[in-house]
């Protein structure tokens, strides 16, 4: 699953650690999501959408292989 987390973090000028604290996950979880190695739960995707004030679809993009 592709995502725009790295870009959104850059726009807000926050680190992986800062984002992780804001949504109550580890920095490693943020890192894995950005690299496409971890697919977030629905709850986590919604937390990210709320934090960035975006629709889930604006952050995450399903690929044909997903």
Sign of CA dihedral 5, 55, 40, 22: positive
Structure confidence by residue, pLDDT tens digits, 3-60: 999 999 999 999 999 999 999 999 999 999 999 999 999 999 999 999 999 999 999 9
Confidence (pTM)? 0.90
Residue 62 is predicted with a pLDDT of: 81
In a domain, 50, yes or no: yes
In a domain, 65, yes or no: no
Instruction: Give the structural domain span for 27.
Output: 2-54
Any idea what the CATH number is for the domain that residue 37 is in?
Answer: 1.10.260.40
The contacts of residue 61 (CB under 8 Å, 6+ apart) are 1, 2, 3, 4
Task: Count up the domains in the chain and report the number.
Answer: 1
In a domain, 64, yes or no: no
The beta-strand segments (E) located in 1-66 are 2-3, 60-61
């Amino acid at each position: 699953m592709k995502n725009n987390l790295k870009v959104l973090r850059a726009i807000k000028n926050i680190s992986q650690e800062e984002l992780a604290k804001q949504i109550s996950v580890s920095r490693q979880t943020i890192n894995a999501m950005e690299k496409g190695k971890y697919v977030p739960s629905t709850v986590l995707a919604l937390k990210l959408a709320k934090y960035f004030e975006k629709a889930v679809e604006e952050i995450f993009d399903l690929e044909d292989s997903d």
